[in-house]
Amino acid sequence: MAEHNLLGKAGEQEAAEFLVRQGFIIRETNWRLNKLEIDIIAQEPGMVLHIVEVKTRGSDEYFDPMRAITESKKRHMIASANAYLNYYQLQCEVQYDVIILVGEPGFFRLEYYPDLFLPKLKTYR
């Protein structure tokens, strides 16, 4: 496996462990349906479902990892969440979170951004 893939896997593992320490239940990791993918699906006590995007970088010296959360990435997260809800026929509140990890396994700096954005509502005239 390529080194950047190993770093990404280690980052996702660290992110999942962080969420568990915060009291979340991890429902799924790396859930996929066709071209849709969710890094972590977590749930806090109750029915709030957290769709978590994890970005892991060895360094943020040249590129702020948060810049990778583009409008396109947000649309992908929303579409993936809708697919997950439909697949399992769930009706619950959804929150979109991002976890940024910078460093190397065992020495990550973790930044958690809960409820980073809301899906845009479609209005009809």
Domain boundaries, the chain: 3-62+71-117
Please answer whether residues 74 and 117 qualify as being in contact, where contact means their C-beta atoms are separated by less than 8 angstroms: yes
CA dihedral (98, 72, 6, 51) positive or negative: positive
Supply the pTM of this predicted model. Answer: 0.88
Q: Look at the domain 3-62+71-117 and name its fold.
A: Trna Endonuclease; Chain: A, domain 1 (3.40.1350)
Beta bridge partners of 17: none
pLDDT tens figures, 50-105: 999 999 988 776 667 778 888 999 999 999 999 999 999 999 999 999 999 999 88
